[in-house]
Structure 1
Amino acid sequence: MSTTVAPLVIAFLGIVGTLASALMTQRLATKAKALELDQSARQRAEERQHETERALAEAVRACYVRLNTASLDYQSELNHFWHALRAGRVTDDVRTRLDDARREHRARYSEAQMRIPDDVLTVVDGVHRRLNHVYGVLKRLDSGAPSRWEDDESLDEAHQQVMGLWKQLTEMRRTMRRSIGATQGGP
């Protein structure tokens, strides 16, 4: 019997070995495919994360451009208004241009409040407050209304304030450029 059983056992072991080999191969292939899919999913997630970060950085950069442009336009219109006021030639058109520049700046500032980092927003807040302060001074001088804060507002002081805005605008621009890596740490 052992001569009959031995070939059967060997045949049985051969069949089981063949079947086990196929199952092991299938299992290893499934694991390899799962690892490949996992790695691919991880890579897609990293790419999505990178794309999201890039889109956010681009949105901040675009916000900076719009805010910088609106701030410069506002300062320019304040300067233009001051010259018209000094010459006694303030017209409704000059007033409208200044008010439009102020509204555009306010819209860009509002956008920036929701989008830009806090350290940059601190600098932007200072510029925003200063632009609006100068606006108030010039409008009071235009209307002849008494000053609410200072007893000695004058055209000369207003001009110094308008010109003083350049320093703040320059610092704001530097801070924004540093924030997006467009410049080194220095001025």
Structure 2
Amino acid sequence: MSSTVVPLVIAFLGIVGTLASGLMTQRLAEKTKSKEWDHSERQRAEERQLETKRATAEAVRACCVMLNTASLEYHSELNTFWYALRASHVTDALRSRLDDARREHRARYSEAQMQIPDDVLAAADTVHRRLNRIYGVLKRLDGGIPPHQEGESLEQVHPQIVGLWDQLSDMRRIMRRSLGLPPHSPDGTEAAGPEDHPM
């Protein structure tokens, strides 16, 4: 090789090396950037999934709270109505309160059917059916319609109202378990039962 060719070859190799190095650096930067983008995209997807999970859990919790409250209120109004019926002091205001409690419970139960887990829904369904059965009996008695089945007299329906505390407690216990809450209240006592609510 002549003395003029060698420097040209060296210069050529230097240029090629510089260009190759630039391309490799660019490729490496693109690869790194792509990995970072994939990682941040995965992270955003995980965050969205977690947020959806949290929102769903909060919606179920709120639904359980409203259903439990509506069930207790409906039960309380049935009990009040029974006492008024026994004393022959049923007023339009009491009828209206009972009907309002029934409507509210029905609305909360309908929402729950679309949101709460099956085990909670089964317990809520038991409560719902028994509350409505007692409502039907009391309304018929209030309207002067004599009992047409066993267990539908004024005296026989009261133990059913009292007995509903067990179903309400079961429903609440299943709701708490489903929500990941402990079975007892924070002070370690069981939630209110029949002995706390004289009938």
User: 127-136 or 138-147, which moves further after superposition?
Assistant: 138-147
Pick the structure with more helix per residue.
1
Distance 1:2 1:105, change over 3 A: same
Shift of 1:152: 5.1
Q: CA deviation at 1:119?
A: 1.5
Where does residue 135 of structure 1 map in the other structure? 135
Q: Distance in 2 between matches of 1:56 and 1:69?
A: 20
Quick check: 2:151–2:157 contact (8 Å CA) kept in 1? no
Aligned to 1:116: 116
**How has the CA–CA distance of structure 1 residues 184 and 66 changed in structure 2, closer, same or farther, with 3 Å as cutoff?**
closer
Structure 2 residue 170 is the aligned partner of structure 1 residue 183: no
- Equivalent residue for 2:171? 172
Question: What is the aligned partner in structure 2 of residue 28 from structure 1?
Answer: 28
2:46 alignment counterpart: 46
Structure 2: 5+ residue stretches without partners: 185-189, 191-199
Cα distance in 2 for residues equivalent to 1:111 and 1:95 = 25
Cα distance in 2 for partners of 1:156, 1:11 equals 111
What is the CA-CA distance between 1:80 and the residue it aligns to?
0.2
Deviation, structure 1 residue 6: 1.8
Q: Distance in 2 between matches of 1:65 and 1:15?
A: 74
CA distance in 1, matches of 2:118, 2:151: 35
Share of identical aligned residues, percent? Answer: 71
| Aligned residue identity for 1:92 | D
Q: How does 1:14-25 map to 2 (within 5 A)?
A: 14-25=14-25
- Counterpart of 1:61 in structure 2 is 61
Paired position in structure 1 for 2:146: 146
Structure 1 position 184, deviation (Å): 5.5
Q: Does 1:99 align with 2:61?
A: no
Shift of residue 182, structure 1, vs aligned partner: 1.1
Equivalent-residue separation in structure 2 for 1:158 and 1:139 (angstroms): 12
Q: TM-score, normalised by structure 2?
A: 0.89
Task: Provide the C-alpha distance between the structure 1 equivalents of 2:97 and 2:33, rounded to a whole number of angstroms.
Answer: 65
Deviates more, 1:134-143 or 1:165-174: 134-143
Q: TM-score, normalised by structure 1?
A: 0.95
Distance in 1 (CA, whole Å) between partners of 2:91 and 2:183 is: 44
CA distance in 2, matches of 1:180, 1:152: 36
Alpha-carbon displacement from aligned partner over 1:48-68 (angstroms, at most 9, x marks no partner)? 100010000000000001000
Structure 1 residue runs of 4 or more that deviate by more than 3 Å after TM superposition? none
The alignment's C-alpha RMSD in Å is 1.5
User: What is the distance in 1 between the residues matched to 2:71 and 2:165?
Assistant: 10
Match in the other structure for 1:158: 157
- 1:31-64 CA distances to partner (integer Å, 9 max, x unpaired)? 1011001100110110010001000000000000
Question: How far off is 1:10 after superposition?
Answer: 1.3
Relative contact order higher in (CA < 8 Å, ≥ 6 apart): 1
Residue 2 of structure 1 deviates from its aligned partner by 2.9
